Amino acid sequence: MSDISEIPVSNETRRDFLYVATATTGAVALGAAVWPLLDQMNPSADVLSAGKIEIDLSGVESGSRITLKWQGRPIFIDHRPEARIALAKADDNNPDLIDPATDAARTQRAEWLVVIGVCTHLGCIPLGQKEGEPVGQWEGWYCACHGSVYDTAGRVRRGPAPRNLDLPPYNFISDTLLGIG
């Protein structure tokens, strides 16, 4: 059996890694050549106090993963292509799920998975956001600290992590504008 840490990210899709230091609140525009663009929209005081961020997803290609920072924590956003969605849904009723949940229950729109990128074991940041990083056998994320593996719905498939990657509060303000917080 191969070492799971050596399983590379699939070459079928491009996975971008974009880490945005938005410690407070800002507007993030993701585009091919306009990165990063932070805090350009003078958010209102109430938005600032609520710690909300808005992210323009229009430049995030299908198959790409990006990372944002929200309230000091990494947020993983995965623009999932059909194959990755199908992989998640295929295991909705798998009796081996450690923390059972359907893919639909973990997403508001199937093509966008939004999770807090903190391993639910002891808080490491799982690998899988950068191209070439190990993602584990379920094509999601791999935590190198103690070997937990997550699938393409962010469900834990191998411990010691006890539960799925947590979901942040978020909403789609429009088809391409995501609000977190």
By annotation, the residues acting in catalysis are 146
* Total site size for ligand FES, rule CB under 6 A: 12
The distance of closest approach from Cβ of residue 158 to ligand FES in the complex, given in angstroms and rounded to an integer, is 9
67 backbone dihedrals φ, ψ, rounded to 5°: -125, 130
What SS3 class is residue 49?
helix
Is residue 161 near ligand FES by the rule CB under 6 A? Answer: yes
Is residue 166 near ligand FES by the rule CB under 6 A? Answer: no
Task: Please tell me the total number of residues recorded for the chain in this structure.
Answer: 181
Cα 17 to chain centroid distance, Å, stands at 11
Is residue 163 near ligand FES by the rule CB under 6 A? Answer: no
Of residues 28-67, those binding ligand FES (CB under 6 A): none
Distance CA 37, CA 29 (A): 6
The distance of closest approach from Cβ of residue 147 to ligand FES in the complex, given in angstroms and rounded to an integer, is 6
Q: What is the dihedral of CA 43, 46, 51, 57, to 10 degrees?
A: -40
Residues that bind ligand FES (CB under 6 A): 119, 121-124, 143, 145-148, 160-161
